[in-house]
Amino acid sequence: MKYIKATFIVLATLLTTRSHAQELYGFLQSVACADVIGIGVYGGPVGNPTLASVDRIDNAVFWLGDPGTNSVVLTTKFFDDPFYMDSQVDIGDTVVFWGMRLGWVPFTSNTVFRGKPVSAWEWREKQMQLGSAGQVPDPPYQFPGTWVNVTTSSLSTVSFISNIVQSLCVSPNLNQYSETLIPPLEVGWESELSLFKKDAHMELLALEWGEGEDFLVHVLSSPEYPRKFRGLALSYLQDRFDWPATNTVPVP
């Protein structure tokens, strides 16, 4: 079998790479900052590093940022383990991984955001406006890889992440992106998608607070969104865009 040399890619999450990080949290914000996202098989630890554990992902298929190989090596030491990290991964488990090889162009001091907290959608948009990732990271060598173990999950987790990557990173579309947030919103805590429940909830709140009239009309008019988010959209339309107080949420 032809030997394929592993490409050593240092992956970074948003929590360790930006002074703005305290404003952001969770899966969606780290994906918004990623330039590598894919699915593969956990291959176990590699080497004996002194600063971080190093783990190999084999048979990698990339949704974003294919570096030209089917194997990546991630540093995976966290000072504060994130909510979505599965520490129980075993060799042979399938994982969805994401992160950064290098770093984005830093935001300029006069960058103005539409809302606060900043949505993952707007964070990604601002970074793309400034330019693609590829800057030397600062500080270096402190960028952990991140994954979700999907071996014991059904296809709904993989489908959810794939749809997020497509609508947020690959072919950005605000309405489609917000619709991809719907599946976890009203599931019970026993559902595998409950892992993303809080993140999706807070992201949709941030979108309604920061985005414009057309987006709010889309949410109000679409019965797929939970009733409370459609009602909030109407409230913002009345408060921010002078819609009549007599308007009501359309009945499906």
Domain-located, residue 131: yes
Domain-located, residue 146: yes
Place of tokens 């952990």: 144
Backbone angles phi, psi at 38, to 5 degrees: -165, -175
**pLDDT band for position 146 (cuts 50, 70, 90):** confident
What is the C-alpha separation between 165 and 173, in angstroms, rounded? Answer: 11
Domain-located, residue 145: yes
Domain-located, residue 175: no
pLDDT at 76: 60
> What are residue 122's DSSP bridge partners?
none
Domain-located, residue 57: yes
Q: Is the pLDDT of residue 9 over 50?
A: no
Averaged pLDDT score across all residues of the chain: 78
Q: Please tell me the total count of domains within the chain.
A: 1
The per-residue pLDDT for range 53-108, each reduced to its tens digit, is: 677 888 988 898 876 777 777 766 544 444 455 557 889 999 888 877 777 777 88
Per the structure, the complete domain to which residue 79 belongs is given by: 7-154
Q: What is the pTM of this model?
A: 0.81
Domain-located, residue 197: no
Domain-located, residue 139: yes
> What would the mean pLDDT of 205-219 be, rounded to a whole number?
97
Q: Is the pLDDT of residue 141 over 50?
A: no
pLDDT at 82: 45
